[in-house]
């Protein structure tokens, strides 16, 4: 994996974590509610694994987060309350 890919994976992980915190869920519960493997989700959130399209679609179906947000960070594609929450949340690990 090249350096740019790992940077993108880390950004995706930060976005996923912000959404999870919005829903006030632990990573295992967040993953299971979307029918995603907790192990895979943990890797995605840490930025150490690539989010599959299938996994992203499951997150979209359960939590209403667009693939544009997951992969590209487009906040304008989120439901308003979620967009406001993740936009105002300071980025932190």
pLDDT tens across 27-40, in order? 999 999 999 999 99
Please tell me the predicted confidence (pLDDT) of residue 5: 63
Please tell me the predicted confidence (pLDDT) of residue 90: 60
Q: What is the pTM of this model?
A: 0.87
82 pLDDT more than 70: yes
Domain 3-88: CATH class, spelled out = mainly alpha
Q: Which two tokens stand for residue 77?
A: 């594609």
Percentage, residues of the chain above pLDDT 90: 80
Q: Packing angle between helix 3-22 and helix 38-46, nearest 10 degrees?
A: 120
91 pLDDT more than 60: no
Residue/partner pairs of 54-58 with CB below 8 Å, 24 or more apart? 58/34
63 pLDDT more than 50: yes
* Contact criterion met (CB below 8 Å) for 62 and 30: no
The owner of tokens 């976005």 is 15
CA distance 1 to 84: 33
Is residue 93 very low, low, confident or very high in pLDDT (cuts 50, 70, 90)? very low
51 pLDDT more than 70: yes
* Residue boundaries of the structural domains of the chain: 3-88
- Ramachandran region, residue 91 (left: φ > 0; alpha: ψ -120 to 50; beta: rest): beta
Q: Packing angle between helix 3-22 and helix 80-88, nearest 10 degrees?
A: 120
């Amino acid at each position: 994996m090249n350096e740019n890919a790992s940077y993108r994976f880390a950004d995706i992980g930060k976005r996923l974590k912000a959404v999870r915190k919005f829903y006030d869920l632990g990573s295992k519960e967040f993953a299971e509610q979307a029918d995603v493997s907790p192990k895979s989700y943990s890797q995605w959130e840490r930025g150490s694994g690539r989010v599959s399209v299938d996994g992203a679609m499951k997150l979209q179906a359960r939590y209403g987060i667009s693939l544009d947000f997951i992969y590209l960070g487009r906040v304008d594609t989120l439901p308003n309350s979620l967009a406001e929450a993740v936009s105002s949340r300071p980025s932190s690990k």
